[in-house]
Amino acid sequence: MTARFLLLVTVALAGNAWSQHSNGYVFAGPGAAEGTATLQGGIGGEFVWRRIGVGGEIGAIGPTSDLASSVGLFSANGYGHLGHGKLDPFVTAGYTRLQRGGGANGVNFGGGVNYWFKRHLGVRIEIRDHVMTDIGSVHFWGVRFGVAF
């Protein structure tokens, strides 16, 4: 009886397990904040169940004229995937923390697309806006190009 129950539970949960996956990504790209050209880069990852994901990233944003004055970036996000297969468009939103000496809290939102060449290798293009509500709603937006794995 116990073996049959375990087999039944395993088969029932297998469909859900197949609809789960995780992926990581690295990114870099140009942007702007308050009329100043910026460069941003970082690494992140997400866990996706069906078409809903949760994830986070760390990185940096700084003015192109003085990258030594970059600020650290942390984001915790929710994701909505609008497709599946090779072409994987998504939207995202969540919490952002910028840190350098003191810190600033805010929100972020954006969207993009992953194009998967094979199961764990693809390219990622995304537009993201980090709105720092602690410092007068300053927008740090960027166009990100990356590799998804």
Give the whole-angstrom CA distance, residue 110 versus residue 76.
13
Q: What is the pLDDT of residue 12?
A: 40
> Is-contact 118 148, C-beta < 8 A?
no
For the chain, domain boundaries: 20-148
Q: What is the pLDDT of residue 135?
A: 85
Q: What is the pLDDT of residue 4?
A: 52
Per-residue confidence band for 96, with pLDDT thresholds at 50, 70 and 90: very high
Which DSSP string do the residues of 13-81 spell out, in sequence order? HHHHHHTEEEEEEEEEEEEEETTEEEEEEEEEEEEEETTEEEEEEEEEEEETT-GGG-EEEEEEEEEEE
CA-nearest of 121, 116, 115, 125 to 146 is: 125
Q: Tens digits of per-residue pLDDT, 9-60? A: 444 433 444 468 899 999 999 999 999 999 999 999 999 999 999 999 999 9
Q: What is the pLDDT of residue 115?
A: 97
CATH of domain 20-148: 2.40.160.20
Q: What is the DSSP letter of 149?
A: -
Q: What is the pLDDT of residue 2?
A: 52
